[in-house]
Structure 1
Amino acid sequence: MTVIKDRQEWDDVLDFWFPEGRFLDVDEQTHHAHWRWRMQGGADAQIIAQFSDLTRNAAGGNLDHWAQDPHGRLALIILLDQFSRSVWRDDARAFAQDPHALSLATEGLSNGHYAALEAPWFQVVHGLPLGHCEGPDHLERLDRLIRLRENIAATAPRHLGPIYSALADQARAVRKLIAAFGRHPHRNEILNRISSAAEEAYIAEGQFPHMKAFR
């Protein structure tokens, strides 16, 4: 007998953000293209059209009950850490949800929800707030993120290993950035922060780790 899983209220978010689904036999080139789509802002228009209201609900704390389930927690992290950046692009509100997303990610790492996620792409996205949220423990969180991504790369299907090794390298690049500046300088203008001379030079180069990935 085939067991049909009841559809959950967060499944629309997961189905949209992970066209790969949950099966590990995804083609490498297709998977690479999905990552490029996720990481280079290619989904902005669709996110704004389909998920603006849901993102606002998440930002308002109205969907916190999703975090009772590992996949609901993941979907909530996506809304707060990813979709917020599309809905409020070039506005300080894009980053206002980062502490909430970080709290969800950290709790999920300690309560078994992260380990319960069956696909490496799920686990990568669950861990994003560790690197995205600025704060005094940022370097320690990035060290943890690097270890998580190294483990993902080591345990992912062999044909997908290079993709996840590259994501571990990206986390290392972000760590160097935070070690140098203590924050993400490319956000300074949006957050009305004054850039140092070194930050201005870095911003002028435009070699941001999050923009270099999967180009």
Structure 2
Amino acid sequence: MPWLELLNWWFGEGATVSEISEQKNGLWFGYKPEQDAEARARFGELVDRALAGELTDWAESPHGWLALVLLLDQLPRMIYRGTPQAFAGDERALQLVRDGMAHGGDVLLAPIQRVFIYLVLEHAEDLRVQDQAVAQFQMLHGLVGTEDQALFADFLDYAVRHRDVISRFGRFPHRNEVLGRETTEAEQVFLTKPGSRF
């Protein structure tokens, strides 16, 4: 399977959700130049192919679909960090997620894998989509066992915080500079607060 290397890199080899998260949380949500460089070296060609509309056959398998979503949503944010290209795959990723969820593709994945399907919803500058993201993370939180409740409560909290920003501004102010958008005075005040840039 051409997507196995990517999924193994992204999710590691932990036996439990907590082990996977401990191993990979820094990759998922941290910033290290060496991680971005590794992503670029190992998967840059696949990201560019995905952004060009290739690899569509990957979506015929649940795990291939997940990998293609990662190539369009997560990896451009690493490989093209600080440039408009970081968000170039968002629209296509959102359509992929909508199509896959309509066919129940998400329920065929493990809860920790489903996080990265629903994060695509959380990345959208659209309040209706944000509401859907919160609903999906609420569902996931109710689905996992007691030992994973705290981790998935954190995922839900982030979804709520993203939704609240879109509810307030209609967009993510921390993207304005990269995307060449003018920042309003209210957004400027907001951006001085801790956690405003996720």
1:206 Cα deviation after fit: 4.5
Aligned to 2:184: 196
Unaligned runs of 5+ in 1: 1-7, 211-215
Aligned to 1:5: none
Cα distance in 2 for residues equivalent to 1:166 and 1:63: 32
Q: What is the aligned counterpart of 2:124 among 117, 123, 133? A: 133
Q: Which amino acid aligns with 1:177?
A: V
- Larger helix proportion, structure 1 or 2? 2
Aligned to 1:83: 75
Moved over 3 A (4+): none
Aligned to 2:159: 171
TM-score (norm 2): 0.92
Cα distance in 2 for residues equivalent to 1:75 and 1:29: 21
Q: What is the aligned counterpart of 1:41 among 4, 10, 31? A: 31
Q: Deviation per CA, 1:103-161: give whole Å up to 9, x if none.
A: 011111111111111x1111010111111122xxx111111111111111111132111
Do structure 1's residue 96 and structure 2's residue 88 form an aligned pair? yes
Aligned to 1:65: 57
Conserved? CA contact 1:102–1:130, under 8 Å: yes
Cα distance in 2 for residues equivalent to 1:65 and 1:98: 19
Conserved? CA contact 2:174–2:197, under 8 Å: no
Tell me the percent identity: 33
1:200–1:47: structure 2 CA closer, same or farther, 3 Å change rule? same
1:52–1:132: structure 2 CA closer, same or farther, 3 Å change rule? same
Do structure 1's residue 142 and structure 2's residue 133 form an aligned pair? no
Cα distance in 1 for residues equivalent to 2:117 and 2:191: 27
Q: Deviation per CA, 1:170-196: give whole Å up to 9, x if none.
A: 111111100111001111011100000
Q: Which amino acid aligns with 2:93?
A: A
Conserved? CA contact 2:106–2:117, under 8 Å: yes
Conserved? CA contact 1:20–1:31, under 8 Å: no
TM-score (norm 1): 0.85
Structure 1 stretch displaced more, 30-39 or 183-192: 30-39
1:72 Cα deviation after fit: 0.7
1:202 Cα deviation after fit: 1.5
Larger RCO, structure (CA 8 Å, separation 6 or more): 1
Cα distance in 1 for residues equivalent to 2:169 and 2:121: 17
1:33 Cα deviation after fit: 4.6
Cα distance in 2 for residues equivalent to 1:157 and 1:191: 40
Conserved? CA contact 2:47–2:75, under 8 Å: yes
